[in-house]
Amino acid sequence: MKHLLICLTCIFYLSNISAQQAIWESKEILSPVIHEDNRVTFSLRAPDATNVQLTGDFLTSPVSLVKDREGIWSYTSEILPSELYSYSFILDGVKITDPANVYSVRDVTSVMSLFLIDGGVADLYKVTDVPHGTVIKQWYNSPTLNKERRMTIYTPAGYDANKEKYPVLYLLHGMGGDEQAWSDLGRAIEILDNMIASGKVKPMIVVMPNGNVSQSAAPGYSSNGFKRPIFMLPHTMDGLMESSFPDIVDYIDAHYRTIPTKEGRAIAGLSMGGFHSLHISKEYPDMFNYIGLFSAAIMPDVIPEGDVNAPIYANMDAKLKKQNQQKPALYWIAIGTDDFLYKSNVEYRKKLDELNIDYVYYESGEGHIWKNWRIYLSMFLPKIF
Amino acid sequence: MKHLLICLTCIFYLSNISAQQAIWESKEILSPVIHEDNRVTFSLRAPDATNVQLTGDFLTSPVSLVKDREGIWSYTSEILPSELYSYSFILDGVKITDPANVYSVRDVTSVMSLFLIDGGVADLYKVTDVPHGTVIKQWYNSPTLNKERRMTIYTPAGYDANKEKYPVLYLLHGMGGDEQAWSDLGRAIEILDNMIASGKVKPMIVVMPNGNVSQSAAPGYSSNGFKRPIFMLPHTMDGLMESSFPDIVDYIDAHYRTIPTKEGRAIAGLSMGGFHSLHISKEYPDMFNYIGLFSAAIMPDVIPEGDVNAPIYANMDAKLKKQNQQKPALYWIAIGTDDFLYKSNVEYRKKLDELNIDYVYYESGEGHIWKNWRIYLSMFLPKIF
């Protein structure tokens, strides 16, 4: 038995060293290392490199790493507040993920290494020993688009053990995102597991569809194969996502134990997904009781009637008034003061004020970033259902 | 509307260039590029690098890339046969993924870039426009282990649209793997979707549990957070996986529409998972009608009774004979001639011959690699149910 384990261990290491004897011979690098005081040390073994830098969302500009006598380059950060961070090395001018860190996340065409500082806001983003919901990659047919499409569905812990009906949050991504974005970048699964377990959030089904109607699934999961992801796809924000949205709601109500009424439905989205949430919720005013616009791409002045060939965007004021008359329980708008969409959100709120439409507004610091959207989600969830 | 799209596009690119003006100013690299004749060109923009090499499972040793006047290093391969390949660059001595390719896969502690050459065996590994099954990340309770654990479950296309009962294949990973291995490295989802669609394989549920009983979930999905993955975990192949296995079968039969009898169950696994399949199927001889041992870690001579404190491994010959008396429909053994476990598989077959136990044997070339395990899976699936 022991021989076998030794053999298996050997074969594993052998398969790794085939390419690079140097790594095998040297001791293993641990990077990043999070210290007790939440300083973080990043290290890269690169004896032959001439320049190694670090870039990350906790730095305002790249910093240089320092090389030791063994050829290990390292940098130790300041004390970092609790957050989920991403970073890259720049090795002789080439931006790379940290080879010692297998945890990374793709944001459109960039892949970045990840780490998490706990003890604060990021505690919600950790996998913890609470009851876990189920994550489902579900294909469905959209009759309107005449297409098989993929979405991510979360059912809460306990869903399989009872016969109850659950409310549903439809959670939409931004431009460049897909049905993986809210789980991968937004840590939506962990936020839901943790907040439901703590009793702060009602158990709910969360549906994360793909908001690019020209796309059947996220890059790598469609018949496009391993083609390079594209930021702005055809039919982006031209009304087709909104007009085909009832296909998704119909599928979910038919296949999951939902509360299939307005009282049991919420919709929220970030950036383009906020734009979609705005237009879907006003187009179907009896469909959603809770609406969340996170850094939403709402630019009423830039969507004059007739600018796009979609009746979805026509008669906006009248539709918004009608939606408001149906008295949704919550119309929540959140944006950061540094967001490039901040001004258009000011204008949108002015329009809502003029139309006497109710909403709740939350203003954060910073801009158009996942850090804000994770926080907005964790603020929105306790307010619904 | 157009202004908005331009703004969104700008903010996207801005967020990417913050760290590295050089990349922004240069034109985009496409890598890898698969040519008509299935040669593949790999490219890396690295004007400041002094040495760039390429390593991959289609190369016997690393090759050097050549730098052009713009600082782009490139290499074009020979004509490659259809296969799913992985590769890395070695940039000034550091093994990195291809920054132009967002598709990668983790194998224990290594992350490698991916590409696929179609037109042959790898056509089964592509996502194609066929009806897709559903992939479920399911937590379940193991009473034997007193632990919540995570597994991957595949339900075939059409499962949600009818009330039929389905047979179940339990598909086990090797040492260093987890409940993600068969889908991520083994392309099991694509193989199943494609082979079921072509009518060659019966629609079935496939359950891919985590074979490391000390682990609740794959690295990154448990409360261990982003700790570095470990190849050999405690309680590896000590009998606990086998003795707790009925917990998994019970959960699946209770929560999915299964054929909950021997006729409706198969078990197969690679390496350590083959060892598990051997011992689980002989320990519960009425549970599985189809058994697949892929490059299995079966070393009867190295598992003398009493070597480990697990009754699972005791009285092996008598248990194997009993299992054979229950007449399983298929006992399939596959291994490559270069596998470090080849000799022990010869010995195991000799033992089966001596005990007059029926089996079907398939011998491939090459060794202990995912290429073989994907092929074995695609050969095993049409033989079951």
Residue tagged 């869903």 (tokens):
A159
CA distance linking residue A184 with residue A190, whole number of Å:
10
Which residues make beta-bridge pairs with B197? none
Structure tokens given for A296: 């939403």
Q: Please report, for chain A, how many H helices and E strands are present, in that order.
A: 9, 18
Q: Is the dihedral of CA A112, A117, A120, A122 positive or negative?
A: positive
Buried b (16+ CB within 10 A) or exposed e, B1-29: beebbebbeebbeebbeebbebbeeeeeb
- A110-150 pLDDT tens trace: 999 999 999 999 999 999 999 999 999 999 999 999 999 99
- From the list B55, B297, B303, which residue is nearest A20 (CB)? B55
Taking Cα atoms as reference points, which of A11, A267, A375 lies closest to residue B232?
A11
pLDDT of residue A310: 73
- Show Cβ contacts of residue A41 under 8 Å, excluding neighbours closer than 6 positions: A31, A32, A33, A35, A74, A75, A76, A77
CA distance linking residue B108 with residue B220, whole number of Å:
12
pLDDT of residue A299: 63
CB contact under 8 A, B232 and A101: no
Judge whether A98 and A60 are in contact, CB under 8 Å.
Answer: no
CA distance linking residue A175 with residue A139, whole number of Å:
21
- From the list A45, A61, A148, which residue is nearest B132 (CB)? A148
CB contact under 8 A, A50 and B19: no
Digitized pLDDT (tens) for each residue of chain B, 385 residues in all: 445 554 555 444 444 433 333 444 456 899 999 999 999 999 999 999 999 999 999 999 999 999 999 999 999 999 999 999 999 999 999 999 999 999 999 999 999 999 999 999 999 999 999 999 999 999 999 999 999 999 999 999 999 999 999 999 999 999 999 999 999 999 999 999 999 999 999 999 999 999 999 999 999 999 999 999 988 888 877 889 999 999 999 999 999 999 999 999 999 999 999 999 999 999 999 999 999 999 999 865 444 443 455 788 888 999 999 999 999 999 999 999 999 999 999 999 999 999 999 999 999 999 999 999 999 999 999 999 9
Q: Which alpha helices (H) appear in chain A, and where do they start and end?
A: 2-17, 21-25, 181-184, 188-197, 240-255, 272-283, 316-325, 342-354, 370-380
Structure tokens given for A252: 């979910």
CB contact under 8 A, A299 and B4: yes
* Angle at CA of residue A60, ends A57 and A65, nearest 5°: 85
CA distance linking residue A317 with residue A314, whole number of Å:
9
CB contact under 8 A, A62 and B91: no
CB contact under 8 A, A93 and B308: no
CA distance linking residue A73 with residue A64, whole number of Å:
9
- The verdict on A1 touching B (C-beta cutoff 8 Å) is yes
- The verdict on B139 touching A (C-beta cutoff 8 Å) is yes
- From the list B4, B46, B272, which residue is nearest A92 (CB)? B46
- The verdict on A141 touching B (C-beta cutoff 8 Å) is no
What residues 319-338 of chain B have any CB closer than 8 A to a CB of chain A? Answer: none
pLDDT of residue B12: 46
* CA dihedral angle for residue B283, residue B286, residue B249, residue B161, rounded to 10 degrees: 150
Structure tokens given for A249: 């709601």
CA distance linking residue B316 with residue B319, whole number of Å:
5
pLDDT of residue A168: 98
What is this model's ipTM? 0.93
Q: What share of chain B is helix, strand, coil (3-state, %, to 5)?
A: 30, 25, 45
Residue A23 with chain B: CB contacts under 8 Å: 95
- The verdict on A314 touching B (C-beta cutoff 8 Å) is no
CA distance linking residue B353 with residue B347, whole number of Å:
10
CB contact under 8 A, B128 and A223: yes
pLDDT of residue B307: 47
CB contact under 8 A, A219 and B307: no
Which residues make beta-bridge pairs with B258? B166
Structure tokens given for A169: 């949050």
Kindly report the pTM of this predicted structure.
0.93
Buried b (16+ CB within 10 A) or exposed e, B347-371: ebbebbeeeebebeeeebeebbebb
Task: Put residue A239 in one of left, alpha, beta given phi > 0 → left and psi -120 to 50 → alpha.
Answer: left
CA distance linking residue A156 with residue A172, whole number of Å:
18
- The verdict on B146 touching A (C-beta cutoff 8 Å) is no
Structure tokens given for B7: 């703004």
Q: Is the dihedral of CA B256, B261, B262, B263 positive or negative?
A: negative
* DSSP-derived 3-state class of residue B80: coil
End-to-end CA distance of chain A: 55
Interface probe, candidates A94, A159, A298, A335, chain B, greatest B C-beta count within 10 A: A94
Structure tokens given for A328: 């949704």
Q: Is the dihedral of CA B17, B20, B24, B27 positive or negative?
A: negative
CB contact under 8 A, B139 and A135: no
pLDDT of residue A335: 98
CB contact under 8 A, A231 and B11: no
Interface probe, candidates A12, A114, A124, A192, chain B, greatest B C-beta count within 10 A: A12
- A83-108 pLDDT tens trace: 999 999 999 999 999 999 999 999 99
Judge whether B316 and B303 are in contact, CB under 8 Å.
Answer: yes
* CA distances for B85 relative to A66, B193, B363, B368, angstroms: 35, 20, 22, 15
pLDDT above 90 coverage of chain A, percent: 85
Digitized pLDDT (tens) for each residue of chain A, 385 residues in all: 445 554 555 444 444 433 333 444 456 899 999 999 999 999 999 999 999 999 999 999 999 999 999 999 999 999 999 999 999 999 999 999 999 999 999 999 999 999 999 999 999 999 999 999 999 999 999 999 999 999 999 999 999 999 999 999 999 999 999 999 999 999 999 999 999 999 999 999 999 999 999 999 999 999 999 999 988 888 877 899 999 999 999 999 999 999 999 999 999 999 999 999 999 999 999 999 999 999 999 865 444 443 456 788 889 999 999 999 999 999 999 999 999 999 999 999 999 999 999 999 999 999 999 999 999 999 999 999 9
Residue at B217: amino acid letter: A
CB contact under 8 A, A116 and B307: no
The backbone torsions φ and ψ at residue B255, rounded to the nearest 5 degrees and listed phi first, read -115, -10
Taking Cα atoms as reference points, which of B269, B237, B19, B255 lies closest to residue B159?
B255
